[in-house]
């Protein structure tokens, strides 16, 4: 049977479910990217996206996946051979550090356990030792999508300041932007990297660099080769709402609607909605008797939960069973977590019935696969959701 009835549940931690108004905007006819209509759209999205990063400084929008914006952040601010300090929170931090090596940088990768966030004290200690000020940037992942761990970015900022170190602070918010509170300007971040396909509720294909004055100044002397990623040509064209090359016109039409939807709900409500879905999910996971990959409660991610299956049970077999039976995709374990964990995405355009539907699908799969678990996780989640009213939509009466 090639057709599976019912709506597919896309519960991976991004790409996320794209809401209909965003899909409708993307489906509008493609427009002339050098015409006046595009100029207006360009100005609207370039201004609007700043409010999501919570910055008054420029945000660059690339027609690329998040990996492109990682590269842009590095090549615009650094020079060949520069040392960068990174922290091993998980798979995505590892990929970013590998990219730094490929680009001719010298990443120093502070060891992590893939179950906790960035250790700000370790960053501070390493920077304090760096008397020659050879480290040019500290690069960290805000929400590590492979483990479901959210790091404390203000603590990393304080660590850099306490060491009185001039390194730039580069932060990946690909799976937190629009889902978990994040403040580019207030937190003193120099480059924030974002992507379209998670909290912003768009399909993949757009990515972002929010930049500080200090990052902009660094980019004037940075010597890594760059052309497509160059901030300066972008900024010059962006001043009038245009781009130096053909932008993703239709995704930008969707972005405008997505930004409006986030503001219509209110960013703080959006974050609370994610916190609630995450807490309901964790209650179900604990009830089933499974371990959450994130070790520390204060670092739990509100956009996804990585769940460890008991020894001897395959997380990939469970995911395959759930896909076949329930038409639902869950995230796989990455790197050393392959087949050990599965990841439940609870981010983006998501409400209580989707939380409980997702958890029901997991419970069906657990039973079908013969994984030992304590039944009743969905009830535990429902009891929490029922007892903790989220933002209630305005009634029309």
Ligand X SMILES: Cc1ncc(COP(=O)(O)O)c(C=O)c1O
Question: What residues make contact with ligand X under the rule CB under 6 A?
Answer: 14, 65-67, 92, 141, 145, 172, 174-175, 195, 204
**Smallest distance from ligand X to CB 143, Å:** 6
Specify burial of residue 326 (Cβ count, 10 A radius: 0-12, 13-18, 19+). buried
Q: Which is nearer to ligand X, 66 or 361 (CB)?
A: 66
- Cβ proximity to ligand X: between 88 and 130 the closer is 88
DSSP string, 134-195: -EEEEEEESEETTTTEE--HHHHHHHHHHTT---EEEEE-TTTTTTS---TTTTT-SEEEEE
Task: Report the nearest approach of ligand X to the CB of residue 216 (Å).
Answer: 23
Q: What is the spatial distance between Cα 307 and Cα 349, in angstroms, rounded to a whole number? A: 22
> From the CB of 174, what's the least distance to ligand X, in Å?
4
- Closest separation in Å from C-beta 191 to ligand X: 14
Kindly state the smallest distance separating residue 173's Cβ from ligand X, in Å.
8
Smallest separation (angstroms) from ligand X to the CB of 66: 3
Tell the smallest beta-carbon distance from residue 131 to ligand X (Å): 32
Q: How far is the CB of 14 from ligand X (least distance, A)?
A: 6
Q: Which is nearer to ligand X, 72 or 292 (CB)?
A: 72
How far is it, in rounded angstroms, from Cα 254 to Cα 250? 6
Between 174 and 355, CB nearer to ligand X: 174
Q: Sheet holding 341-345: strands in order across?
A: 9-11, 328-332, 341-345, 304-308, 291-292
Cβ 12 to ligand X shortest distance, Å:
9
What's the CA gap between 62 and 68, in Å, rounded? 8
**Comparison of 91 and 187: residue with beta carbon closer to ligand X:** 91
Q: Taking the C-alpha atoms of 172, 278, 332 and 145 in order, what is their torsion angle to the nearest 10 degrees?
A: 10
Give the separation between CA 172 and CA 193, rounded to whole angstroms.
5
- Report the candidate in 5, 19, 13 with the shortest Cα–Cα distance to residue 264: 19
Cβ proximity to ligand X, 76 vs 356, nearer residue:
76
Q: Quick check: 168 and 191 in contact, CB under 8 A?
A: yes
CB of 258 to ligand X, least distance (A): 16
Q: Which residue in the shown chain puts its C-beta closest to ligand X? A: 66
Nearer to ligand X, 150 or 249 (CB): 150
Closest contact distance (angstroms) between CB of 374 and ligand X is 31
Nearer to ligand X, 14 or 333 (CB): 14
Kind and range of the H or E run holding 304: strand 304-308
CB nearer ligand X, residue 175 or residue 249: 175
**Given the complex with ligand X, which of 67 and 327 has the nearer CB atom?**
67
Distance CA 333, CA 66 (A): 19
Judge whether 60 and 186 are in contact, CB under 8 Å: no
Instruction: Indicate the residue among 145 and 238 with the shorter CB distance to ligand X.
Output: 145
CA distance 301 to 347: 10
Q: Check residue 239 and report its DSSP letter.
A: T
**Cβ-based burial of 6 (10 A; exposed 0-12, middle 13-18, buried ≥19):** exposed
CA dist list (Å): 392 to 128, 248, 271, 273: 49, 35, 14, 11
Check the CA dihedral 88-92-94-96 and report its sign.
negative
Q: How many CB atoms lie within 10 A of CB 244?
A: 15
CA distance 179 to 346: 9
């Amino acid at each position: 049977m090639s057709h599976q009835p019912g709506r597919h549940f896309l519960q991976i931690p991004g790409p996320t479910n794209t809401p209909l108004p965003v899909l409708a905007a993307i489906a509008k006819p493609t427009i002339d990217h050098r015409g006046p209509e595009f100029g207006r759209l360009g100005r609207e999205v370039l201004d609007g996206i700043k409010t999501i990063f919570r910055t008054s400084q420029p945000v660059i929008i690339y027609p690329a996946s998040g990996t492109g914006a990682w590269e842009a952040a590095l090549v615009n601010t650094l020079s060949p051979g520069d040392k960068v300090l990174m922290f091993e929170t998980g798979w995505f931090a590892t990929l970013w550090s590998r990219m730094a090596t490929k680009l001719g940088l010298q990443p120093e990768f502070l060891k992590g356990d893939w179950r906790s966030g960035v250790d700000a004290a370790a960053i501070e200690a390493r920077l304090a030792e760096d008397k020659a000020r050879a480290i040019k940037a500290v690069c960290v992942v805000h929400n590590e999508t492979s483990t479901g761990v959210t790091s404390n970015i203000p603590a990393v900022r304080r660590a850099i300041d306490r060491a009185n170190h001039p390194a730039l602070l580069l932060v990946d918010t690909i799976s937190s932007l629009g889902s978990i509170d994040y403040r580019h300007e207030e937190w003193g971040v120099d480059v924030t990297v974002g992507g379209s396909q998670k909290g912003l509720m768009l399909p993949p294909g757009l990515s972002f660099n929010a930049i500080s004055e200090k990052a902009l100044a660094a980019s004037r002397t940075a010597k890594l080769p760059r052309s497509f990623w160059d901030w300066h040509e972008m900024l010059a064209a962006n001043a009038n709402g245009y781009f130096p090359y053909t932008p993703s016109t239709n995704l930008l039409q969707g972005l405008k609607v997505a930004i409006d939807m986030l503001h219509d709900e209110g960013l703080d409500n959006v974050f609370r909605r994610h916190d609630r879905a995450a807490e309901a999910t964790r209650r179900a996971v604990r009830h089933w008797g499974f371990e959450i990959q994130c070790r520390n409660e204060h670092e739990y991610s509100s956009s996804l939960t990585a769940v460890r299956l008991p020894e001897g049970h395959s997380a990939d077999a469970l995911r395959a069973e759930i896909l076949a039976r329930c038409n639902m995709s869950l995230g796989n374990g990455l790197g050393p977590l392959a087949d050990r964990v599965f990841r439940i995405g609870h981010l983006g355009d998501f409400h209580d019935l989707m939380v409980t539907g997702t958890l029901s699908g997991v419970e069906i799969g657990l039973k079908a696969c013969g994984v030992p678990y304590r039944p009743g996780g969905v009830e535990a989640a429902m009891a929490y959701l029922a007892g903790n009213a989220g933002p209630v939509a305005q009634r029309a009466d």
